[in-house]
Each structure stands twice: as structure tokens, then as C-alpha cells.
Amino acid sequence: CLPCHDKLGVPICGACRRPIEGRVVNAMGKQWHVEHFVCAKCEKPFLGHRHYERKGMAYCEMHYNQLYGDICFHCNHVIDGDVVSALSKAWCVGCFCCSTCNAHLNLKTKFVELDLKPVCKRCYRQLPRELKSRLLDMTKTLILYVPKIQPKRYTTAQIF
């Protein structure tokens, strides 16, 4: 019975609630039979591969991206890896660049918003004075933005 297994220290599977004999997966604060620690969407076992957690559920990379992945504003693909967050949009690290000269913008690069897109300071300085004046009239101040990086969260379960 489960109370007896609990007293003996035998791990109980987080999925089937039965005792685990043999290999144990430790993930998400629970213990699992290897074959029971599966993607919540496709139900394929992770078998030691990384999984992505969301709202207490585990997903393989493909299904996590389908359900919750950020779409890059520039290339329109699901972002694989870290996400640059700027101007209320998500960008691939490699796609985050000045919309005028295509120079890569990094976390230390300050930029200006023009037509909801990033423009580096160098390109902003080269804009016609009249356009810069109208932009300043609209915002009253020149706002220099700094992008933020949000790492993608994944976990690799431990199998014993």
C-alpha cells in the first residue's frame, strides 16, 4: 500500500501514483517513472532531454514553442533562445537591429523609437532636423530606450 511504501522511502510516481522501482526521474518537485515523465501535449517521454515548464506542466521544445513561444517582430519566426524585449515587442537576438542601417543593437546600445521600430543614435542624428523636431513635439522629450533580454526557461530532469 502507498503508506507502507512512503514509510520505506520508496518514491511514488507523480503521474500514476504507484511506487517506482528502478530508475527515477526527479523533475518539477516530483518523482516519476521514466516512461511517465512526458510532454503534456504529445505525451512522448523526455528520457533525460530538456523540458519546458509552464503552469505546472512539462512540454517538449516544439510544443512549448507552439503554445507559448514568442514570435520575432522582425523575422516572424518562433524565437529559439533568448528573447530581446523592446518597444513592447519580442525579437530574436540576431534580428534586433536598427531599422535604418541594420546595425546590430545589443543590450548596451541605446536607441530611439521611430514608427514603432528601433533606430540607433547615429541614424537618429542623421535624420532631417524637421523630422526630429516633429518627433520631439509629439513626445516632448527624446526617449532613449535600452532593450532587455529574457532568457528562455528550460530544465533538464535528473534521472537516477
The per-residue pLDDT for range 78-103, each reduced to its tens digit, is 887 788 888 888 888 889 999 999 99
Q: Which secondary structure element, helix H or strand E, spans residue 99, and what is its range?
A: none
Q: Which secondary structure element, helix H or strand E, spans residue 112, and what is its range?
A: strand 111-114
Q: What gap in Å lies between CA 95 and CA 72, rounded to an integer?
A: 8
What residues contact 143, with CB distance under 8 A and at least 6 apart?
A: 112, 113
Which one is predicted more confidently, 112 or 146? 112
- Per-chain mean pLDDT for the chain: 81
Q: How many CA atoms lie within 13 A of 33 on its CB side?
A: 11
- What structural domains does the chain harbor? 2-68 (2.10.110.10), 83-150 (2.10.110)
- What pLDDT does residue 160 have? 36
- What pLDDT does residue 155 have? 47
Grid cell for residue 35 = 516512461
The confidence band for 1, taking pLDDT boundaries of 50, 70 and 90, is low
- What pLDDT does residue 114 have? 83
Q: pLDDT tens digits, residue range 108-134?
A: 778 888 888 888 889 988 988 888 777
Nearest alpha carbon to residue 40 among 26, 24, 28: 28
Which one is predicted more confidently, 143 or 41? 41
Which one is predicted more confidently, 155 or 28? 28
Q: What is the DSSP string of 63-86?
A: HHHHHHPPBPTTT-SB--S-EEEE
